[in-house]
Structure 1
Amino acid sequence: MDLFDRLKDAASAEWQAYVGHRFVAGLGDGTLPEESFRHYLVQDYLFLIQFARAYALAAYKAPTLADMRTAAAGLSAIADTEMDLHVRLSARWGLSAQDLETATEARATVAYTRFVLDTGHRGDLLDLYTALAPCMLGYAEIGTALAKVPGALADANPYREWVAEYSGDGFQEAAQSARAMLDRLAADRLTEARWRDLVTIFATATRLEADFWEMGLTRAQ
């Protein structure tokens, strides 16, 4: 198993609660309340801003130019591409750019994103990318699974665009690159003494991902 699979195995209960959340199931079968999805879209926009900062932090902490370029590419992908896509998707759900930009972060958004940033500030790149892994790699796994649900990509499913985005080749390739980066960092830095700390980071980030779904489902502030 690679590092990502080892981490998932070590935090299997947290991982299943995340990828099997009711919010996720509702995206696949179209039963998620539309107001819950709109709330999620707003908070996910605010979430992306903080994750762009996490990649900026990764560039700052990068020990090599290659690592800096990898982090810069992640920052650009969020700030220059993903956020524009998010604004366009949100517009189709009746949310303006101003709605997104003037919204207040929900507690679940603050808890998750600040945990990632704090982990990066305290640790090294392996710690930071471990904290980031449940997001990108989890969404890739969820997208792949939902694309296999009968009707998930059909016109009748209001969330088909979301499923298509995260099951699509572009996102899947980015996730594979992130997975390879995690393995490369582990090859240089992972020791037996660090393993327990990495599991704690991964499990905590995964729990906070599940909390983010719950926040979307219940529209909590």
Structure 2
Amino acid sequence: MTGDYGVTFARLRDAAGPVWRDYTHHAFVEGLRTGRLPRTAFLGYLVQDYVFLIHFARAWALAVTKTETLAEMRACAATVDALVNHELGLHVTTCAEAGLSEADLYNAEEHPANLAYTRYVLDAGHSGDLLDLLAALAPCVMGYGEIGARLGPVAGDHPYAGWIGTYAGDDYQQVCREAGVLLDGAVTRRLGPDPHTTPGWARLCRRFTTATRLEVGFWEMGLSLGH
């Protein structure tokens, strides 16, 4: 499963240690798996995740300006398109069933955990290079792919079948594989064939692990919204 997402991701994930499992096996995720997650928690999370994805798309747009090859530019631009024109639709459809319009989602007040995570990712891009930004983006992209692959497939009457199906589905798994190719190529181009032996590798590991910790905080936020 994880090998499909590239060599660099696997090394960064391993370097994150137990915090990666804290993220991908969080109580919020297990609630999605069992279907026992309170609906109020899920809807509160979806609203915040919509806002998150707006900033996430901006971060991928920033990545376009950090690229050094046309292939990198096309990959980053395609991700912006996937986020803005496809993934956001899951949130809009689900929240519409609860009486929330897309304008409600776009104008929602950001939770502090959301602010912390999104601004960290954007700062990584503004203050660093493409590798800093990709290392901060990867936990979300590939983490959701891992979670989806582990939780799915589920029966159509599962309360979170739509969410699980999105991230377990072939389209999203292909997004993860393509992000892995982008990350591997960008790292090799900038750090050489043995990036983990270079001084820059430790910085990327810190970026990735910090973003993973912020993912844990995002799930914690989701649980708190269910009370």
TM-score range, shorter chain: over 0.9
Aligned to 1:187: 188
1:101 matched to 2:129 = no
* Structure 1 residues without counterparts, runs of 5 or longer: none
CA distance in 2, matches of 1:206, 1:93: 30
Q: Match for 1:204: what amino acid?
A: T
> What percentage of aligned pairs have identical amino acids?
50
CA contact (8 A) 2:152 2:165 kept: yes
CA distance in 2, matches of 1:93, 1:188: 47
Aligned to 2:135: 130
Q: TM-score, normalised by structure 1?
A: 0.93
Give structure 1 regions of 4+ aligned residues with deviation exceeding 4 angstroms: none
Aligned to 2:53: 48
Aligned to 2:220: 214
SS of the residue 1:117 aligns to: helix
Aligned to 1:204: 210
Q: What RMSD over aligned residues (CA atoms) do the two structures have, in Å? A: 1.4
CA distance in 2, matches of 1:21, 1:85: 22
Aligned to 2:151: 146
Residue by residue over 1:169-221, the C-alpha shift from the partner in whole angstroms, topping out at 9 and shown as x without a partner, is 0000010000111111111123410111111000000000010011011119x
Please report how far the alpha carbon of residue 65 of structure 1 lies from its aligned counterpart in structure 2 after TM superposition.
2.3
CA distance in 2, matches of 1:108, 1:76: 25
CA contact (8 A) 2:90 2:163 kept: no
Give the number of aligned pairs: 216
Please report how far the alpha carbon of residue 93 of structure 1 lies from its aligned counterpart in structure 2 after TM superposition.
3.5
SS of the residue 1:134 aligns to: helix
Residue by residue over 1:92-137, the C-alpha shift from the partner in whole angstroms, topping out at 9 and shown as x without a partner, is 2332223212210000111001100000111111111111000010
Aligned to 1:175: 176
SS of the residue 1:93 aligns to: coil
Please report how far the alpha carbon of residue 38 of structure 1 lies from its aligned counterpart in structure 2 after TM superposition.
0.6
Please report how far the alpha carbon of residue 58 of structure 1 lies from its aligned counterpart in structure 2 after TM superposition.
0.6
Please report how far the alpha carbon of residue 84 of structure 1 lies from its aligned counterpart in structure 2 after TM superposition.
2.7
Q: TM-score, normalised by structure 2?
A: 0.91
Please report how far the alpha carbon of residue 156 of structure 1 lies from its aligned counterpart in structure 2 after TM superposition.
3.7
1:19 to 15, 19, 24: 24
Aligned to 2:166: 165
